[in-house]
Amino acid sequence: MAFATAKDGTEIYFKDWGSGQPVVFSHGWPLIADAWDPQVKLMADNGFRAVAHDRRGGGRSGQPWTGNDLDTYADDLASVIETLDLRDAILVGHSTGGGEVTRYLGRHGSSRVAKAVLLSAIPPLMLKTEANPEGLPIDVFDEIRQGVLTDRSQYYKDLSAPFYGANREGSTVSQGTRDEFWLWSMTVGIKSAYDCIRAFSETDLTEDLKKIDVPTLIVHGDDDQIVPIVAAGEKSSKLVKDATFKIYPGAPHGLSMVPAFAGRFDADLLEFARG
């Protein structure tokens, strides 16, 4: 297996498929790189070099006690990019991964980056505050913390329903899709999973979004039950200078893994990468 070494010595696992212009994928909470497998294969099949890593604390990466915050996640992404000496890269981030990509661009700049894609992403801020009334109240995130601490296995099984929209009438999401969500989630250490809740809910990425200076595709479903579009995609699209905003009617949070919406996202991703 291939690893990059983070600043604190943590090993960050990555898969590196194909050749050509690099496309680097960052996954959501509480998943691992395998959640991107269909898109990683798609890009490698179409003349790109596709890279996806397991965030620290989960999958095949190390599980340190510290570093479960957006600054460190962005630095870990930088370690992968620099280890492989990637240039002219297209960064693609889903959910928390979208926060990771946004903080990377705000913290490390775009000298190695050509474009960015933010899918169902957490920026600018998920938490409801006086300045961000569209966000979710802290009680929502406290309930997530409680679920992780008390019975994370059952919590992840339950979470897969709103994540994929399986709780909506007419849903065709398979049990297999929900099972692999649980499987991936259970590889994440409880400390990392718990700490990341604060990272994805309370980190304000407004200024990072304003610093993005590369073409950016923002995709969000208007039935996202995890990261509401009004607090995320809609706001981000107004803060990123060169943004293309695409709304998927009826799409859930994990739309790239739901057959009803994955085809459209794959086509949009490929068109944006080639454009």
Mark whether 95 is an active-site residue: yes
Buried b (16+ CB within 10 A) or exposed e, 225-254: ebbbbebbbbbbbebbeebebbebeebbbb
- How many angstroms separate the CA atoms of 201 and 227, rounded? 10
- Of residues 79, 95, 236, 256, which has the active-site annotation? 95
- Of residues 53, 94, 220, 253, which has the active-site annotation? 253
- Of residues 224, 236, 237, 256, which has the active-site annotation? 224
- How many angstroms separate the CA atoms of 217 and 237, rounded? 9
Pairing of strands 243-248, 113-119: unpaired
Determine which helix (DSSP H) or strand (DSSP E) holds 16, and give its type and residue range: strand 11-18
Q: Is the distance from CB of 14 to CB of 56 less than 8 angstroms?
A: no
Mark whether 224 is an active-site residue: yes
Q: Identify the three-state secondary structure at position 68.
A: coil
Backbone angles phi, psi at 60, to 5 degrees: -100, 0
Pairing of strands 48-53, 11-18: antiparallel
Q: What is the set of active-site residues?
A: 95, 224, 253
